Structures are given as C-alpha cells and as structure tokens.
Amino acid sequence: MTTYERGEKPAAGKFIRFDHIRFWVGNAKQAAYWYCSNFGFTPYAYKGLETGSRKVAAHAVKQDKIIFVFESALLPGNHELGEHIVTHGDGVRDVAFEVDNIEYIVDYARKHGAKIVAEITEESDEHGSVKTASLQTYGDTIHTLIERKNYKGLFLPGFKAHQMPTLFFETLPDVGLNFIDHCVGNQPILEMEPVVQWYEKMLQFHRFWSVDDSVIHTEYSALNSIVMTNYEETVKMPINEPAVGRKAVSQIQEYVDYYGGSGVQHIALNTKDIIKAITALRARGLEFLSIPDNYYDSLRKRLATSKIKVTEDMDKLQKLHILVDFDDNGYLLQIFTKPCQDRPTLFLEIIQRHNHQGFGAGNFKALFESIENEQNDRGNLFYTDVEKGGKRLNVYGR
C-alpha cells in the first residue's frame, strides 16, 4: 500500500463535497421506493410532468447528507437514456460535485482537454439560482459540477417537495447513514492509469492511496486500485482495474463485462454507528455478503497484539458479518451489500471510521473470497477453454 502527499493547491476553484449521485433506471419511482424501504432513505424532491418536466421524471431521496436521484425517460425516443439502460442496466450516470468558482474549474478542464458534456448554465426559481456544467469522465459516466451558494431552495430549480407517502417508511427501523465516503469506478484491464491521469490533469486531483495485486489477491483473482481526491480531500474517487494474469474472472472484470465497460461499481456510505445501521438494514430485508467465521478467529488473534482496541462488541460484528481493518493509529468497520439490481454490477458499502483513512486493504482477501463464492453461484468465476475466433471465452460466453 502507498499513501501520497497532497499536491500544490489549485490557483482557484474548489471541490466542496459530493453533491448527489444520479442514476439512470428503467422505473425511477420504483427504484426510489426500493432505496427508501431497504436503505432508510426518505422521499425528498421530485421533477416530472406535474412540475413541468416533459422529458424525464426524477425522484430524489435523502438520508442526512446523502442524496440519490433516480431518473427515467417520460417519452418514447429518448435514445440517450434508453441506450444507456440497454447497455449498462440500471446504474450511475452522474457523480455530481458541489463546487465553488465553477467558471475556473470548467475553463481549466477545457484547456487541458476535457470533454464538456454540458456548458455552464444558470437556472433560477423563487429560491435563487444554481450554476451547473457537466464533464465526461470514464465510460459513459459524467461529473456535474454544481455551484449552489446563491440558492436556498430544497434541492435544485425544477424540483418540488416529494409527495410520496412516508407513513410506511416511518414504521421501519432507523438506519443512520450520514454522508458519501467514497465512490468507486471500475475500469477494464490496463485502463486505470489513464483514468487516474484524467483526474490529475482535468480536475487537479491528487493520488491519495494505492494498492496493487501483491496485496489484493486470492488464488483466483486480484485488483489494482488508486484513490483520487481533491486538494481538500473531501471527495474520494477510487479507480480499480483487474490485475493481469489471473486464472479466473475477478469481480472487477465481471463488473466490466456485465456493465458493458467502465462505470461506478460501488458507493460507500459513512455512518457513526455501523452496528445500529446494519442491524436496521438487515431488519429491512437488505442482503449482504457473508464472511466466514475463521476470518474473525484470525482477526481476534491479530488484534490481541495490536496497538489499537476495537470498542465495538466483536461478537456483534461477527454476527452481522462486519469486517475490521486497522493499523497503529486506528481502524475502520465495513460491510458490502449484494448487487442492488439483477446484473452483478452496482452495490453499496457501509463504513465507519475510527481515525483510519484507508479503504480496507486488510479485508480484501476475505471480501474477494466472499464475492468469488457469489460469482461461482452465478456461474461467472472461471474461464472456460472454449475458443472462438481466436479469443478465449469465459463462462458467460463473451
């Protein structure tokens, strides 16, 4: 593992935080409901026919500082959104950042070769004005930059308060997720470094943390990962790729195959109390990856000689299948859901940090083995010996 020093501060412009994550899905209303009932979000804001939006319906849901927006086409012939769903399935289209001095950030990115998907526009309503622009990043994913310092409204112009009934959600146990910790992008093999350089050149992000397949591997699969972040280190974007030369389909390659290229693999949501959160999420019916008991036997032995003490009840962590990673300064607790749609693509991570800014490298072997068990159940773990047109096919025939 490698950690990096912060680079030179940009002359102007600032990335403040993750603003929201926008999904393109087949049915936005149903997706929003699923995240409310399963993850503890509440209906927040809505844009659709009733608010004057004639092309798309968007349902925003919120939990503390986390906002997810689910968007679907309203009319036939929306080829951009429709083809995105045909290719990728339900997935993340837009990782939006709140920024200050959007003009500087967009101008800098343009001068260094970034593709500007949407130029700076300003929208207003009775609550003020918001400036936005969008940049193309990896695959079909974009970053919308949002400058909202002159806006006092609920979410964004064009949205109204959501009218979805909440009585049922209020009967479910409170979850307590607080903010987006990081957002992970998967790349095809050997494409991680060009994406990392894009964030360096276009957004003036710097390398925060990295790990390679010498650390993150099992008998069958491995990955390389570099975490990119802004100068203030408030936005963290890990970039992953599968390692070369393994004999099975890694979880990264499986994602790339089923998503149809690069995209957001998972979103990590930070909580102050992971035991409470996971207890509530399991009660709501959410499914998580299973971790074998021998992981906790080994963990207890390693913690017995470490400088740090985990204050949470280890028996509860084991019962809930929560992973622990630590160093001499602190520790983190994390757990991963099963995929949130039929394709084995997007999933969510729940994380709690105790003076530890890593990404769970010490847990990757256990996590990979758990994912490989799931892959094996799907018939997607091993390559076959079938050859077609000079290319080796994997078990899902591609």
Binding-site sequence positions: 182, 266, 349
Alpha helices in the chain (DSSP H): 28-39, 79-88, 102-111, 167-170, 192-203, 251-259, 274-283, 293-304, 314-320, 364-378
Separation of alpha carbons 369 and 70, rounded Å: 32
Separation of alpha carbons 180 and 234, rounded Å: 10
Separation of alpha carbons 267 and 278, rounded Å: 16
Taking alpha carbons only, the member of 23, 56, 54, 26 closest to residue 41 is 23
Contact 40, 63 (CB under 8 A): yes
> If 0-12 CB within 10 Å is exposed, 13-18 middle and 19+ buried, where does residue 64 land?
middle
Q: What CA dihedral angle connects 364, 351, 37 and 53, to 10 degrees?
A: -100
Take residue 165 and report the two structure tokens written for it: 């009934």
**Which residue in this structure is represented by tokens 């926008």?**
22
Contact 281, 38 (CB under 8 A): yes
Residue 352 burial (CB count, 10 A): 22
User: Cα-flanking dihedrals φ and ψ of residue 350, to 5°?
Assistant: -110, 130
Take residue 299 and report the two structure tokens written for it: 């963990």
Separation of alpha carbons 392 and 369, rounded Å: 24
Taking alpha carbons only, the member of 143, 118, 144 closest to residue 198 is 143
State the maximum Cα–Cα separation within the chain, in Å, rounded to a whole number. Answer: 64
Cite the annotated binding site for Fe cation by residue number: 182, 266, 349
